[in-house]
Homo-oligomer: A and B are copies of this chain.
Amino acid sequence: MGNQPGYKASKDQLLNRLHRVEGQVRGVTRMVDEERYCIDVLTQIHAAQAALDQIALGLLDDHVHNCVERAAPGERPEKSDELVAAVGRLLKR
């Protein structure tokens, strides 16, 4: 358990992380409003992006374990295709 990869998350953990990202984005809004130094704002945006990436990985992990693995054999290829297409969108942003 102790060495689970960091992206594995229960629903509650995902929700906690999302609340934290909401706070980070509000923080960015405040920094822009206060005309803080661009580079500091960029650092904060980067933190929000990295947190969203982890959340996205957690959802992918959930999808592959709960949708792809457990799908009826005949539905699995379609679930797999959806997964790869989703990864393609994430890579291209």
Chain B residue, CB-CB nearest to A88: B57
Categorize the interface residue count of chain A: 35 or more
Cβ B67 vs Cβ A38 within 8 A:
yes
- Contact in complex: B22, A29 (CB < 8 Å): yes
Give the distance to chain B from A2, nearest Cβ to Cβ, in Å. 16
Complexed CA–CA distance, A92 and B57 (Å): 11
Q: Which residues of A contact B (CB under 8 A)?
A: 5, 7, 11, 14-15, 18-19, 21-22, 25-26, 28-29, 32-33, 35, 38-39, 41-43, 45-46, 48-50, 52-53, 55-57, 59-69, 73, 76-77, 80-93
- 3 closest A-B pairs by beta carbon, nearest first, are A38-B63, A18-B29, A64-B80
